[in-house]
Structure 1
Amino acid sequence: MIRVENVSKQNSHRILFIEASATLQKGEKAGLVGPNGAGKTTLFRMIMQEEQPDEGQVSADRGITIGYFSQDVGDMAGRSAVTEVMDGAGPVSGVAAELRALEAAMTDPDQASDLDRIIERYGEVQARYEELDGYSLDGRAREVLSGLGFSDEMMDGDVGALSGGWKMRVALGRILLMRPDVMLLDEPSNHLDLESLIWLEEFLKGYEGALLMTSHDRAFMNRIVNKIVEIDGGSLTTYSGGYEFYEGQRALNEKQQQAQFERQQAMLAKEIKFIERFKARASHAAQVQSRVKKLEKIDRVEPPKRRQSVSFDFPPAPRSGDDVVSLKGVHKRYGERIIYEGLDFMARRRERWCVMGVNGAGKSTLLKLVAGAAEPDAGTVKVGGSVRLGYFAQHAMEVLEGDRTVFETLEDAFPQAGQGSLRTLAGCFGFSGDDAEKRCRVLSGGEKARLVMAKMLYDPPNFLVLDEPTNHLDMATKEMLIAALERYEGTMLFVSHDRHFLAALSNRVLEVTPEGVFQYGGGYTEYVARTGQEAPGLRH
């Protein structure tokens, strides 16, 4: 359905593709992987004809529909979320808008004199709406939005009042409702809570069209795709199977290529040694010439490309007391909405609590109460002796100084640290080379989040309170962070929608539900085994 044939592409001085080829066939679900900046979004844009290759061609079968979800959702305002989602379904959305306008006109006293004409037109429009299956479309749009975490009130409210993350969900909903022949999804798992993520997973498993998607969530990708297209050093390589199979196959291919390279190097060294030894002897001239010609004809094996693997050993955190934080009889409400009523909770040294709960259950509120960013209405929150608390939240990004560069920000925070150590730290969190000289004011939300994380973990506190720390991290950075936190000896309280992160790091689960707060011994994996569900909202 989609063909990329011998494509070369350069953006300013950066070469993205060199004679790269790949295909997406009917019914295939493919994951597009590669480091940040490798050209994943550029490939999507070339498929959509928004960019052209410098050489080669990108083509699609005639007459197919393509739905493209990107992180750039544009302006949305003045219409409801349902209307916005239905707009992706084609002409029916325009008919629906006229129907709503006529309904409003029928109840408008200023238009009473035109009522007969309005009613007549309403009948015509209503017939067309039924013909286009509009009434079931409204239901399907609401089903999609519900799956993506919208309440009825949010579905019918002005989409302009929503945050950027919720607008992303509306844009994603448009593509899902459209059910095109081919879906191109660029990071659809960003901005979703765990329940919505699992709903989307099931939706995409049942989708019968072709799918090409990127995602930094390995569990999500692994359950959906049946092939991987990797961008590496300008070429596209296709692997059959899921993400885990791809990782294993890539490692095996590299091992085999390295062995082949070493064998050839040993053979070449032996031949060159013979030539050097006997080139001056007339008696060996024919043999020397024969071997020189043989070397000229040999296809040289390249060593496998060395991927930059990021790793960083964070300094050990100082030891805290055994009782890290204690909440007793805590009440918290926002207006009429009761969040907590008599909450008791204790975290002890080296416990790693993941907080589970549906949107709005109070997960972030709990973290704010513990971190001192919010006060309880009643009850006490007591942090234990020798506890040094580090809190990662979205507002933490606002305290970065706009005129300072990334590197200067790290230098300001750690004046005693060596330049090499800080460069390594910056590189671990995605700021290598010139990126370390970017000023904070031009950083994206994701880059700011990574910089705040780097500052927090270089001189680690002994109690980490983390609210969605992996939202903006690519797979390599996420793996580095998980590896570092597995070695971390302090206490953790965190919220995350990344199941790999949850399973790797938690040893306790705190589940926040409308019926109350429940505590589970054992981590996320044990919680899933005990409850039979991957997220609390799926049980109700």
Structure 2
Amino acid sequence: MIRLDNIGKQNGHQILFIEASAVLLKGEKIGLVGPNGAGKTTLFRMITGQDEPDEGQVSVDRGLTIGYFNQDVGEMAGRSAAAEVMDGAGPVSEVAAELKELEHAMADPDRADDMDDIIARYGEVQHRFEELDGYALEGRAREVLAGLGFSDEMMDGDVGKLSGGWKMRVALARILLMRPDVMLLDEPSNHLDLESLIWLESFLKGFEGALMMTSHDREFMNRIVSKIVEIDGGALTTYSGNYEFYEEQRALAEKQQQAQFERQQAMLAKEIKFIERFKARASHAAQVQSRVKKLEKIERVEPPRRRQSVAFDFPQAPRSGEDVVALKNVDKGYGSKRIYDGLDFMVRRRERWCVMGVNGAGKSTLLKLVAGATEPDAGTVTIGGSVKMGYFAQHAMDLLDGERTVFESLEDAFPHAGQGALRTLAGCFGFSGDDVEKRCRVLSGGEKARLVMAKMLFDPPNFLVLDEPTNHLDMATKEMLIAALSNYEGTMLFVSHDRHFLAALSNRLLELTADGIHQYGGGYSEYVARTGHEAPGLRS
């Protein structure tokens, strides 16, 4: 279907691909992985013809339909979300538009002379519309939007009034409704809540076409793909299996390559030692010459490329009292909508609560109440003795001073810290080399999230309140964060839609549902085992 043969590609001074090859076959589901900036988006753009390789060839079968979703959704306004989605449904939307034009023409008295031709054409177009299952189009569009979390009101409202995250969902729905031969999805799991993520997972598992996607959600990737294509050092390497299998195979291959490299280095050292020892002796001249020639012919084994992964060690947080926060008889609402009515909730030292509930259930509101970012309408929120709180909220990224560089931002926060310590901190959170000199206003969402987190964790609080901390983080940063938080001695209250993060870090779970609030003592894994589902909105 799609072949990349010996492609080469350079962006400015950066070489992305060198004689790289890969293939996407009919019905295959491939995960595309590689560090940030490795060329994943460039690869998608070359497949869609938006970009050309400098060398080699990208071959796409004739007549193949490709649906490409990326993070740049463009302008959307003036139509309902449902209409916007239907407009992207490929040939059927074009046929629907012609059908509508012909209906207007039939009602136009000025075109009475052409009526026979118009009616004949209308019959042809209507037949084609039926062949394409056009009359079911709106129902299918609404089904996809509902799966991605849209209410009926949002489907019928002006798409221009939606936030950027919801517009992304509209753009994704267009591709899903289109049912192309091949879907190219660049981070489709971004901006989705857990219920929508699980619905999308199910949709893509049932999709009969070919799929190539990137995602920073390892569980999502694991359950959908059966092949991994890795971009690393300009090469494309294909692994059969899901993401977990790929990680195991890559680690094994690196271990074998390292052992092979070490064996060869030992052999070379031995040969060189012999040559150095006997090169001045005429009696050994033939042997020395023979070994020199042998060394020249040996193909050198390269050591495995070391991936930059820096571990972040928490300094020890000061100990808090046993009762960290207590909410008693708390009421909270916005306008006529009641969020909490008489809520009682207690967090104790070293508990790690994850909070779950469908959109609008009050997850972020609970975190804001605990952090003091909003006040209860009634009842009390009491923070315990010796509690030092760190609160990560999405809006925290908007509070960074755009004119300060990453390093200056860290220096402002920690004026007494040494430069070396701050550079190490920056490196742990993915800012290496010249990245520390970037101004905050040019940072991506992921970079801002990493900087805010670095500032929060350098001098660690003993109570972390985290609202979607993994939203913009890549897999490597998530793994670093999970490893760091696993060793964290303090208390946590957090919201996340990343199942790997939830399972790794929670030991308590608070579920907010329409029929009340439920607590589970063993964290996310116990919740899944006891309820039989992975999110509250999937309760049957």
Task: Work out the CA distance in 1 between the residues paired with 2:90 and 2:241.
Answer: 34
Tell me what 2:442 maps to. 442
- 1:354-406: CA deviations, max 9, x gaps? 00111111111111111111111111111111111111111111211111101
Task: Work out the CA distance in 1 between the residues paired with 2:518 and 2:140.
Answer: 34
Tell me what 1:163 maps to. 163
Tell me what 2:387 maps to. 387
Quote how far apart the aligned CAs of 1:518 are.
0.8
Task: Work out the CA distance in 1 between the residues paired with 2:66 and 2:300.
Answer: 42
TM-score for the superposition, normalised by structure 2: 0.95
Alignment of 1:380-459 (within 5 A): 380-459=380-459
Alignment of 1:107-506 (within 5 A): 124=122, 127=126, 129-130=129-130, 132-506=132-506
Quote how far apart the aligned CAs of 1:131 are.
5.4
Tell me what 1:74 maps to. 74
Quote how far apart the aligned CAs of 1:8 are.
1.1
Task: Work out the CA distance in 1 between the residues paired with 2:539 and 2:472.
Answer: 28
Tell me what 2:507 maps to. 507
Task: Work out the CA distance in 1 between the residues paired with 2:521 and 2:474.
Answer: 30
AA in 2 matched with 1:187: E
Query: Conserved in 1, the CA contact under 8 Å of 2:326 and 2:383?
Result: yes
Task: Work out the CA distance in 2 between the residues paired with 1:132 and 1:149.
Answer: 26
Query: Conserved in 1, the CA contact under 8 Å of 2:99 and 2:126?
Result: no
Alignment of 1:510-521 (within 5 A): 510-521=510-521
- 1:448-493: CA deviations, max 9, x gaps? 1111111011111111110100011111100000111111111111
After superposition, the CA RMSD in angstroms is 2.4
Query: Conserved in 1, the CA contact under 8 Å of 2:470 and 2:498?
Result: yes
In structure 2, relative to structure 1, the CA distance for the partners of 1:385 and 1:105 (3 Å cut) is: farther
Query: Conserved in 2, the CA contact under 8 Å of 1:31 and 1:225?
Result: yes
Q: Secondary structure at the match of 2:481?
A: helix
Consecutive unaligned residues of structure 1, counting only runs of 5 or more, are: none
Q: Secondary structure at the match of 1:494?
A: strand
Q: Secondary structure at the match of 1:533?
A: coil
Query: Conserved in 2, the CA contact under 8 Å of 1:310 and 1:476?
Result: no
Q: Secondary structure at the match of 2:404?
A: coil
Task: Work out the CA distance in 1 between the residues paired with 2:278 and 2:90.
Answer: 78
Quote how far apart the aligned CAs of 1:524 are.
0.4
AA in 1 matched with 2:197: L
Task: Work out the CA distance in 1 between the residues paired with 2:130 and 2:20.
Answer: 47
Q: Which runs of 4+ in 1 moved over 3 A?
A: 94-106, 111-114, 119-132
Query: Conserved in 2, the CA contact under 8 Å of 1:464 and 1:492?
Result: yes
- 1:390-428: CA deviations, max 9, x gaps? 111111112111111010000000011111111111112
Task: Work out the CA distance in 1 between the residues paired with 2:190 and 2:519.
Answer: 28
Quote how far apart the aligned CAs of 1:446 are.
2.1
Task: Work out the CA distance in 2 between the residues paired with 1:398 and 1:268.
Answer: 56
TM-score for the superposition, normalised by structure 1: 0.95
In structure 2, relative to structure 1, the CA distance for the partners of 1:7 and 1:99 (3 Å cut) is: closer
Task: Work out the CA distance in 2 between the residues paired with 1:224 and 1:428.
Answer: 30
AA in 2 matched with 1:203: F
Quote how far apart the aligned CAs of 1:93 are.
2.6
Q: Secondary structure at the match of 2:195?
A: helix
Task: Work out the CA distance in 2 between the residues paired with 1:55 and 1:131.
Answer: 42
Quote how far apart the aligned CAs of 1:133 are.
2.4
- 1:184-216: CA deviations, max 9, x gaps? 110010000001111111111111111111111
1:523 aligns with 2:523: yes
Tell me what 1:22 maps to. 22
Task: Work out the CA distance in 2 between the residues paired with 1:94 and 1:210.
Answer: 24
Q: Secondary structure at the match of 1:89?
A: coil
- 1:188-245: CA deviations, max 9, x gaps? 1000000111111111111111111111111110111111111111111111111111
